Structure formats: C-alpha cells, structure tokens
C-alpha cells in the first residue's frame, strides 16, 4: 500500500466500516474495525480470525463475499468457505499459493455494502 494511504481518508472504506458498525449497533466500536484493517494493511496478511471477528462483531459477511468473488479476490474459483483458509495467513516455505492481501480484502468489504 502507498505510504501516504490512511484508512481514515479512504471514503469508500470508511463508509463500509460505518455501515457495518451501524448494522451491528456498535457505532461507537468502529475503531475496532479500523484497528483490524490497519493491522492487516501494515502486515499485508489476512488471518482467519480477522475475518471471523469482522463477521461476528460487525455482521460483515466477508467470507461469503470472498467465496462468491473468489476468481477476482483469490485468483481461482472456490465454492466453500472451508477452502478459503489456504488463502489466508503467511506464506510458508516455498509455497506458491496466492494469499489474500489488504487491497483485495478492502475491495471485497466495499463490494458487500
């Protein structure tokens, strides 16, 4: 991501965060969503527990969106949420498996709304 990028100035992302915070009736808790996104941006790694927190706390159906648009977000077609885990986390060894990055996650979240 660009060094000058700040999620707080990314209007589509902030609108999505506010949307899901409002749906979950946790508008005063949206800082948690922002915190998760900033950590993902910094490390450029999405872990399974990140997605589970977004779904549980903010009613954000991100895993279903990633499966639905898997060709675009993951570069290959998958049909089940359970298949998503191999695209999450750190690259291990010489594995050539594509991993979900911050930009594609951000695009998926913005596409849900």
pLDDT at 94: 66
pLDDT (0 to 100) of residue 101: 94
Residues 6+ apart with CB under 8 A from 54: 20, 33, 36, 60, 62, 109
pLDDT in tens, 54-98: 999 999 999 999 999 999 999 999 999 999 999 999 887 666 678
Is the Cβ–Cβ distance between 102 and 40 less than 8 Å? yes
26-30, 52-56, 98-102: which is most confident? 52-56
Position 4 scores a pLDDT of: 85
Residue range 24-33: average pLDDT? Answer: 92
pLDDT for 24 equals: 94
Mean pLDDT of 98-110: 94
| Residue among 54, 35, 48 at smallest CA distance from 100 | 48
pTM of the model: 0.89
Q: How far is CA 16 from CA 7, 11, 64, 86, 112, in A?
A: 11, 9, 16, 26, 8
């Amino acid at each position: 991501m660009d060094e000058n990028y700040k999620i707080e100035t990314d209007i589509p992302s902030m609108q999505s965060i506010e949307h899901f915070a409002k749906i979950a009736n946790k508008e005063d808790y949206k800082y948690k969503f922002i915190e998760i996104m900033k950590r993902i941006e910094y490390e450029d790694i999405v872990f399974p527990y990140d997605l589970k927190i977004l779904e549980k706390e903010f009613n954000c159906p991100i895993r279903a969106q990633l499966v639905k648009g898997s060709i675009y977000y993951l570069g290959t077609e998958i049909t089940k949420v359970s298949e998503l885990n191999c695209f999450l986390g750190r690259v291990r060894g010489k594995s050539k498996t594509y991993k979900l990055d911050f930009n594609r996650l951000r695009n998926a979240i913005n596409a849900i709304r």
